[in-house]
């Protein structure tokens, strides 16, 4: 008995010792991660003359950020109440008082810190140190960097893991380069050209429903367009990725929409510790939705067999490069999860056209005008609020030394609204600014920057041009008095209360000729050099496959039209 007790006591002592050692190691790890490393990094920036707000332990500057957002929301709500009051007494409308600068409402803390500390400053969220950069020379150097030592920011990776997993959007280094090599070939020009028919078919469904609404309401109808635009974008990617299984693909988008909402707020504990295994209500919801999405995709893979679609093409490309099926799945999931960016951009573009009817007339008259309108929309309302990067090794840009591990955030809206880069009318909707010259690389970042520029931007632009050209050819848009201008940042910058438009049918030449002008010149015309002198000049124009592109030569210019009927 005494021997047994001795053994038990000895075992207990060992367990206590192990527990103490584990607790000490955990405490040392947390002390280093939460306290020592962030302060060493901040001290390095202070030595370079780079300041920033003082962080508080353990949440950094999160309290300051939340207070600023709360104050901005109170001001925005007061302004909305005033606008509603004016509408009730018969004054004002949906477009009254719109300012195309959402920064004071959406990112008020950044604006304050920029005024206090200049275009480069540091701040902290928990133990994560950020370098906020809006100085053009530093942004230019970052944009030109192709080194794998500059990767995607790891902040929010834990929060967003159920949504993006290990796909190309969040991966770094060789894993990112390998995935990009596989995926890029599926977005070459010849591949995108073959997808336009699907975009047209999807757009026709939306057009028909709006026409029916107008007919039922005596020639004019008020529509909140957001759900219809999302349905179009989801339909395009469903048809492209899943082929004949696109209806089941739509179920994937419903799940993804729920998943986006579940991970839209940062999980501070996960980001600070790197631990994401706590079974909180939100985590369990995200994990379950993630499993459902992957299950649906696997079902479609089995059902599609040898059918040619983007999913099958990616799988074949992956198998030829000896890539696991899971990586190919990740691409499809990532692509599906980004469909909302295109839909939101289309909504912003139609809002701006409703606010500026003169540009609707110009788009109907001249094909090149639509590209300018979309470019200006992406300047004023880029879907991504930031270009985020992380120094995976020590780096230097524009004379600024950046320690390993630092997250670099470039505020896209600040670069897009810099009067030194864009002129004194920077906060006005003026597509003409894109008629004379292409913007500088570092001043225009709607699709990201550098080697990590969005692979699907050609696909997204074709989708936008197809939809908006069809809508403008069929309808006259006017911003509804019910429209509330309130950009908000969730995963992307979107209209908080949606976009309300008043629609009537277009009368006259465009409808009578049964022609739709589509600004996808690169889908129908081969050209050696594009110059922005009012129109793109091309050296050759060829008729494509259905839908038919008609190119008419007018002196040194070409007009390209698409016959949809």
Coil, helix or strand for 322?
coil
Cis peptide before 58 (omega within 30 of 0): yes
Domain ranges (residues) in the chain? 35-87+97-530
Class of domain 35-87+97-530: mainly alpha
Strand partners, 553: 558
Task: Indicate if the pLDDT at residue 539 is higher than 50.
Answer: no
On the question of pLDDT at 536 being above 90, the answer is no
pLDDT, greater one: 497 or 282: 497
pLDDT for 527: 28
**Res 109 pLDDT > 80:** yes
Q: What is the pLDDT of residue 289?
A: 76
- DSSP string of 274-307, one letter each residue: -------HHHHHHHHHHHHHHHHHHHHHHHHTT-
Per residue in 423-440, pLDDT (tens digit) is: 999 999 999 999 876 788
Whole-angstrom distance, CA of residue 75 vs CA of residue 496:
15
Flag the least confident range among 30-44, 345-359, 443-457, 538-552.
538-552
Q: What is the pLDDT of residue 83?
A: 75
Mean pLDDT to the nearest integer, 276-290:
69
**CB-based burial of residue 279 (10 Å sphere; 0-12 exposed, 13-18 middle, 19+ buried)?**
exposed
Cα 428 to Cα 417: distance, rounded to the nearest angstrom: 10
Range from 226-240, 241-255, 262-276, 407-421 carrying the lowest mean pLDDT: 262-276
Mean residue pLDDT across the chain: 76
Confidence class for position 183, pLDDT limits 50, 70, 90? low
Q: How far is residue 162's CA from residue 287's CA, in Å, rounded to a whole number?
A: 6
pLDDT of residue 520: 46
**Tokens found for residue 290:** 């993630």
Selected residue with higher pLDDT from 103 and 25: 103
pLDDT tens-place string over residues 357-369 = 999 999 988 877 8
Q: Residue 319: what pLDDT?
A: 53
Question: DSSP 3-state assignment of 161?
Answer: helix
- In this predicted model, which residue has the larger pLDDT, 400 or 240? 400
DSSP E strands, 56-192:
120-125, 128-133, 150-152
User: Is the preceding omega at residue 391 within 30 degrees of 0, hence cis?
Assistant: no
Q: What is the pLDDT of residue 557?
A: 36
Q: Residues with Cβ < 8 Å from 538, sequence gap 6 or more?
A: 521, 525, 526, 527, 530, 558
Residue entry with tokens 């939340």: 66
Instruction: Name the percent of the chain lying above pLDDT 90.
Output: 37
Span of 269-273, 517-521, 523-527 with lowest mean pLDDT: 523-527
44 versus 153: the higher-pLDDT residue is: 44
Q: Is 454 annotated as a binding residue?
A: yes
pLDDT at site 199: 86
**Beta strand pairing call for 407-411 and 493-495:** unpaired
The SS3 assignment for 228 reads helix
- Tell the burial category of 295 from Cβ atoms under 10 Å away from its Cβ (0-12, 13-18, 19+): exposed
Distance CA 500, CA 214 (A): 15
Residue with tokens 């957002």: 69
Using alpha carbons only, what angle is made at residue 342 by residues 437 and 419, rounded to the nearest 5 degrees?
Answer: 35
Instruction: Check residue 270 and give its pLDDT.
Output: 55
Helix extents (H) in 172-309 = 173-184, 189-193, 196-216, 226-242, 246-262, 268-273, 281-304
Q: For residue range 83-101, what is the model confidence (pLDDT) as tens digits?
A: 777 766 665 556 667 889 9
Report whether pLDDT(151) > 90.
no
Q: Is the pLDDT of residue 525 over 50?
A: no
Token digits of residue 221: 């109808």
- 560 closest CA partner among 275, 335, 368, 354: 368
Cβ neighbors of 445 (< 8 A, separation 6 or more) are: 143, 382, 387, 410, 412, 415, 416
Instruction: Give the chain's end-to-end CA distance (angstroms, integer).
Output: 95
**CA quadruple 81, 87, 93, 96: dihedral sign:** negative
Residue 237 has pLDDT above 90, yes or no: no
More confident residue, 255 or 71: 71
Instruction: Report the distance separating Cα 390 and Cα 397, nearest Å.
Output: 13
2 vs 75, residue with greater confidence: 75
Average pLDDT value for residue range 304-313: 60
* Residues 163, 84: Cα–Cα separation, whole Å: 37
Which pLDDT band, with edges at 50, 70 and 90, does 222 fall under? very high
Residue 560 has pLDDT above 50, yes or no: no
Query: CA 151 to CA 132: how far, in whole Å?
Result: 16
What would you report as the CA-atom Rg of the chain, rounded to the nearest whole angstrom?
26
What is the arithmetic mean of pLDDT over 299-316? 62
Q: Is the pLDDT of residue 239 over 90?
A: no
């Amino acid at each position: 008995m005494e021997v047994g007790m001795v053994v038990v006591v000895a075992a207990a002592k060992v367990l206590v010792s192990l527990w103490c050692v584990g607790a000490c190691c955990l405490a040392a790890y947390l002390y280093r991660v939460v306290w020592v490393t962030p302060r060493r990094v901040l001290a390095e920036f202070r030595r370079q003359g780079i300041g920033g707000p003082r962080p508080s332990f353990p949440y950094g500057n999160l309290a300051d950020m939340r207070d600023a957002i709360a104050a901005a929301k109170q001001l925005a709500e007061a302004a909305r109440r005033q606008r509603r009051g004016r509408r009730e007494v018969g004054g004002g409308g949906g477009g009254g008082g719109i300012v195309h600068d959402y920064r004071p409402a959406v990112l008020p803390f950044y604006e304050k810190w920029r005024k206090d500390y200049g275009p480069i400053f540091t701040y902290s969220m928990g133990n994560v140190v950020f370098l906020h950069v809006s100085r053009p020379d530093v942004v230019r150097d970052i944009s030109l960097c192709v080194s794998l030592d500059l990767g995607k920011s790891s902040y929010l990776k834990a929060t967003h893991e159920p949504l993006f997993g290990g796909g190309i959007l969040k991966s770094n280094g060789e894993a990112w380069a390998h995935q990009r090599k596989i995926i890029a070939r599926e977005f070459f020009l010849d591949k995108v050209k073959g997808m336009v028919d699907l975009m047209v078919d999807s757009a026709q469904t939306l057009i028909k429903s709006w026409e029916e609404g107008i007919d039922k309401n005596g020639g004019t109808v008020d529509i909140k367009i957001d759900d219809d635009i999302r349905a179009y974008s989801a339909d395009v990617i469903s048809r492209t990725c899943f082929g004949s299984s696109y209806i089941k693909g739509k179920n994937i988008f419903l799940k993804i929409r729920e998943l986006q909402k579940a991970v839209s707020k940062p999980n501070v504990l996960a980001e600070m510790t790197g631990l994401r295994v706590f079974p909180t209500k939100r985590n369990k919801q995200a994990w379950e939705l993630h499993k459902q999405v992957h299950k649906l995709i696997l079902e479609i893979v089995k059902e599609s067999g040898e059918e040619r679609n983007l999913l099958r093409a990616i799988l074949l490309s992956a198998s030829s490069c000896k890539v696991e099926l899971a990586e190919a799945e990740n691409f499809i999931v990532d692509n599906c999860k980004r469909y909302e960016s295109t839909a939101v951009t289309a909504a912003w573009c139609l809002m701006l056209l409703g606010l500026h009817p003169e540009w609707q007339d110009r788009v109907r008259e001249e094909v090149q005008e639509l590209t300018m309108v979309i470019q200006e929309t992406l300047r004023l309302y880029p879907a991504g609020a930031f270009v985020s990067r992380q120094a995976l090794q020590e780096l230097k840009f524009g004379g600024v030394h950046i320690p390993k591990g630092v997250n670099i955030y470039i505020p896209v809206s600040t670069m897009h609204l810099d009067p030194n880069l864009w002129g004194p009318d920077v906060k006005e909707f003026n597509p003409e600014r894109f008629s004379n010259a292409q913007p500088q690389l570092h001043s225009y970042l709607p699709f990201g920057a550098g080697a990590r520029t969005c692979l699907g931007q050609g696909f997204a632009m074709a989708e936008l041009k197809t939809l908006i050209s069809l809508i403008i050819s069929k309808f006259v848009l006017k911003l509804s008095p019910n429209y509330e201008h309130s950009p908000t940042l969730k995963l992307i910058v979107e209209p908080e209360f949606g976009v309300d438009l008043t629609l009537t049918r277009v009368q006259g030449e465009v409808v009578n000729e049964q022609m739709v002008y589509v600004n996808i010149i690169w889908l129908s015309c081969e050209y050696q050099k594009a110059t922005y002198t009012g129109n793109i000049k091309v050296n050759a124009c060829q008729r494509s496959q259905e839908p038919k592109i008609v190119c008419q030569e007018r002196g040194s210019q070409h007009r390209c039209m698409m016959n949809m009927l």
